[in-house]
Amino acid sequence: MIPTINLAAVLVSVVAAFVIGFIWFGPKTFFPVWWRALGKSGDPGAEGGMALTFGLTLVGSLVQAFSLAVVIGWARLAGVDVGLAGGALIGLFVGVGFAAATSLGHRLFAGQGLKVWLIEVGGDIVALIAMGAIIGAWI
């Protein structure tokens, strides 16, 4: 059974994820370290395809937010009063248990190392915590 989803909460959580990603990978935060850890130099926009990259990132964030809303909705259907803190906690567990755990092997087998992985999943976990808090508080 798919629970009722508050689409406004989903959309606001996607915006929050984009803002977090913008700050997390900003020129004064983790982007320069992450870019060098990937072995790249120069302007990332020079490689082209930024519209596609941002568009697909938006689609991925929508899928994450909707999926998180379903999980939080299931918790509510099971009688759990989720709220802001519970939603944040669910976001944390999804971030660590799925996003971080899944991408670890990908980064290591690709030879990108722990630094790349830590920077990437750090942003993912923070975004999922915020998304979960928004959805949990709003549903």
Q: What is the mean pLDDT of each run of 10 residues along the chain (139 residues)?
A: 92 98 95 93 72 93 97 95 96 96 94 95 98 94
pLDDT for res 48: 65
Give residue limits of the domains in the chain: 7-138
d(CA 15, CA 21): 10
The pLDDT, as a whole number, for residue 20 is: 98
**pTM, two decimal places:** 0.92
| Three-point CA angle 76, 17, 13, nearest 5° | 35
Contact 5, 135 (CB under 8 A): no
pLDDT of residue 7: 96
Among 59, 53, 55, 74, CA closest to 135 = 74
> Which pLDDT score, from 0 to 100, does residue 47 have?
62
